[in-house]
């Protein structure tokens, strides 16, 4: 059987009892290490689970799934996923491949950022489409995420922004060579995400409509959700563009235009002084 096992959001102890029981009976245990990370590495997981944990990266899961599925019709194999197994489409694709090969699949769910984001006090049923904010570089500045944020904002829906992660990404130069070289890992911060949105607002300039975001739009930055060092800060786009929220992982929420009074009250203790006054008057 192939097990897809969610690990939750924090560390090695966030796995469910059911998930841990499955891991300990598997012959091979893989850890998907590119859509998200825990605060601990594969070594800590292996020590706690009592099993060797093999790290996999994007190319391993997307291009060489057959290695994971090899003999999974004869023995138990596990793929560990930070958060919930269905938090990324890659894992749905692996499940479909397994079924095509007549391999039985069992999914063991866990907490994900999609529900964990409720820790900031914004009501989950008022969230709209989730967006991913990618890193920009000097040659590539994709900004379709902004349009999706704006649709949510105009509909008075909150937007969960998942921030870019780059782990074991090949350098552009090595893409043309047989021997790959990899860039250092990168994890987008709330600060970087806000700076990119502010840059987008500069491009819009005078053509902005009354419904567009501004540098005074309130956003909520979250870091290390589900961990002991979890941090939440509410402030304007401009304020959060200069605040260091520490180690990864980060995500961000852009609330809808009109907050419910309970949402405003919940955010006040996390807010900067200026934003707290706005929330109290909301």
92 among the known binding-site residues?
no
198 among the known binding-site residues?
no
- Which residue is it, tokens 């890992």? 185
Contact residues for 275 (Cβ-Cβ < 8 A; gap 6+): 218, 234, 235, 236, 239
Measured CA distances, 158 to 29, 54, 142, 155 (Å) = 37, 37, 21, 9
262 among the known binding-site residues?
no
Q: Which residue blocks in the chain are alpha helix, DSSP H?
A: 17-25, 42-49, 58-63, 65-69, 89-100, 113-116, 144-154, 190-204, 237-240, 261-267, 273-280
250 among the known binding-site residues?
yes
9 among the known binding-site residues?
yes
SS3 82: coil
Residue 275 DSSP class? H
163 among the known binding-site residues?
yes
Residue 70 DSSP class? T
Query: Contact 31/45 with Cβ under 8 angstroms?
Result: yes
- Which residue is it, tokens 């852009």? 254
Query: Contact 161/252 with Cβ under 8 angstroms?
Result: yes
225 among the known binding-site residues?
yes
- Which residue is it, tokens 């950022």? 113
Nearest Cα to Cα of residue 88 among 39, 35, 131: 35
Contact residues for 136 (Cβ-Cβ < 8 A; gap 6+): 142, 196, 199
SS3 267: helix
260 among the known binding-site residues?
no
Residue positions in the annotated binding site for S-adenosyl-L-methionine?
A: 9, 84, 87, 112-113, 163, 225, 250
Residue positions in the annotated binding site?
A: 9, 84, 87, 112-113, 163, 225, 250
């Amino acid at each position: 059987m192939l097990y897809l096992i969610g690990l939750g959001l924090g560390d090695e102890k966030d796995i469910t009892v059911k998930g841990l029981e499955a891991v300990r009976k598997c012959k091979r245990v893989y850890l998907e290490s590119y859509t998200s990370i825990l605060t601990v590495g594969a070594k800590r997981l292996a020590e706690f689970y009592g099993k060797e944990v093999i790290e996999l990266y994007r190319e391993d899961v997307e291009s060489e799934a057959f290695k994971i599925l090899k003999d999974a019709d004869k023995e138990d194999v596990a793929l560990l996923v930070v958060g919930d197994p269905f938090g990324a489409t890659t894992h749905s694709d692996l499940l479909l491949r397994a079924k095509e090969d007549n391999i039985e699949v069992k999914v063991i769910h866990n907490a994900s950022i999609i529900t964990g984001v409720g820790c900031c006090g914004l009501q989950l049923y008022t969230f709209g489409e989730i967006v991913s904010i990618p890193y920009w570089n000097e040659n590539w500045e994709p900004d379709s995420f902004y349009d999706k944020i704006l649709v949510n904002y105009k509909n008075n829906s909150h937007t969960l922004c998942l921030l870019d992660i780059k782990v074991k990404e090949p350098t552009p130069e090595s893409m043309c060579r047989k021997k790959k070289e990899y860039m250092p890992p990168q994890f987008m911060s709330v600060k970087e995400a806000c700076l990119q949105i502010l840059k987008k607002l500069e491009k819009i300039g005078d053509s902005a409509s009354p419904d567009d975001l501004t540098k005074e739009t309130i956003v909520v930055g979250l870091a290390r959700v589900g961990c002991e060092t979890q941090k939440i800060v509410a402030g304007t786009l401009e304020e959060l563009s200069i605040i260091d929220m520490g180690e990864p992982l980060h995500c961000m929420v852009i609330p809808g235009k009109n907050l419910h009074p309970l949402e405003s009250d919940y955010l006040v203790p996390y807010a900067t002084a200026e934003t707290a006054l706005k929330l109290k008057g909301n």
